[in-house]
Amino acid sequence: MNRRAFITLLGGAAAWPLAARAQQGRKTIGFLGASTSSNWINWTTAFVRRLGELGWIEGRTVTIEYRWADGRSERFAEIATEFVRLNVDVIVTVGSAAVSAKQVTSTTPIVFAAASDPLGGGLVASLARPGGNATGLSMQASDAVGKRLELLREVLPELRTFAVIGNVAYPAAVQEISEVREAARSLGLDLKLLEIRRAEDIPDTFPALKSSPQALYVCADPVVNANHARINTLALGAQVPTVHGVRDFLGAGGFMSYGPSVVYLFGRAADYIDKILRGAKPEDLPVEQPTKFDLVFNLTTAKALGIEIPPTLLARADEVIE
């Protein structure tokens, strides 16, 4: 063997364990999407972008295993079980799926990027000291529902009756429906409940909108997430404006949203992941509560419905879709 060949072989032998160690050092994130990849694209992008800023480059320093439940909550536990089998370092998801994941594993760290009620839902022992293996970001704010209805009435001063559509098989939606009832009562508004449990129920609820409701309040859950465009389209066809708590659900045909930015929350979830991958324990990471709520109007929908949004309200909006 000549000297050059020997040096080349030696260099390759030295490089191999370095490459092997680098591969072994790569962390794995289990990304449990409660809805569809297309509906979560903005949230996923924000999450991956922030991970990159923190030094976790997908395909290089971290592997992300994506799984999508397509709005079917019965898939949550199945996907979480697969992640445990794959021995992922951490699972990231939203509150509803985090509950199922927590029932599957008490050791794999879980970060919820957005949870309606992490304390009441049993995800954490307390917001300041979560305990257990889950932590993340809350979307809960005691007056958010009432504020949405107040804003709606500013736009529609003659509002007397509205409908609320929600998945009555989903605990967070049931809680929100209860809060909507209370807020409606305090504002002297009549409410009509449109119950759904699965995507197939959605079209059957809309004939009720042709009678009296003047607006439709939409409660978020994985089924709504996967079908918000359909809900907005049907509401627009019935000439009824929709009110959402998630800006990303406005899409085509949605009218108004008021709530924390889920894009921002997914970016913040990456900070939690970073800390955990570097050795922090979920039980020691306090749950972050929302401090900023965005008001968004879709002017295209407003024009299609013949609704004139007061200039003073438009001036207060954080975003206007045209």
Asked if residue 121 and residue 34 are part of one domain, the reply reads yes
pLDDT of residue 140: 79
Shared-domain flag, residues 280 and 211: no
187-205: per-residue pLDDT in tens? 999 999 999 999 999 999 9
Closest CA to 82 of 104, 106, 113, 59: 104
* pLDDT tens-digit series, residues 283-312: 999 999 988 899 999 999 999 999 999 999
| 38-54 pLDDT tens trace | 989 999 999 999 999 99
Residues 46 and 132 in one domain: yes
Is the pLDDT at 141 greater than 80, yes or no?
no
Distance CA 256, CA 49 (A): 27
Residues 59-115 have pLDDT tens digits of 999 999 999 999 898 999 999 999 999 999 999 999 889 999 999 999 999 999 999
- For residue 152, what are the contacts with CB-CB under 8 A and spacing of at least 6? 159, 162, 215, 217, 241, 243, 256
Total of domains in the chain: 2
pTM: 0.83
CB contact at 8 A, 95 and 264: no
Do 171 and 300 belong together in one domain?
Answer: yes
| Same domain for 223 and 163 | yes
Asked if 130 and 253 sit in the same domain, the reply is no
CATH of the domain at 317: 3.40.50.2300
Q: Which domain holds residue 26?
A: 3-140+263-284
Q: Are residues 23 and 167 in the same domain?
A: no
27 and 126 part of one domain: yes
Contact at 8 Å (CB) between 274 and 54?
Answer: yes
Is residue 277 within 8 Å of residue 90, measured between CB atoms?
A: yes
Residues 251, 160 within the same domain:
yes
Indicate whether 304 and 202 sit together in one domain. yes
Query: Based on the domain organization, do 184 and 301 belong to the same domain?
Result: yes
Indicate whether 153 and 298 sit together in one domain.
Answer: yes
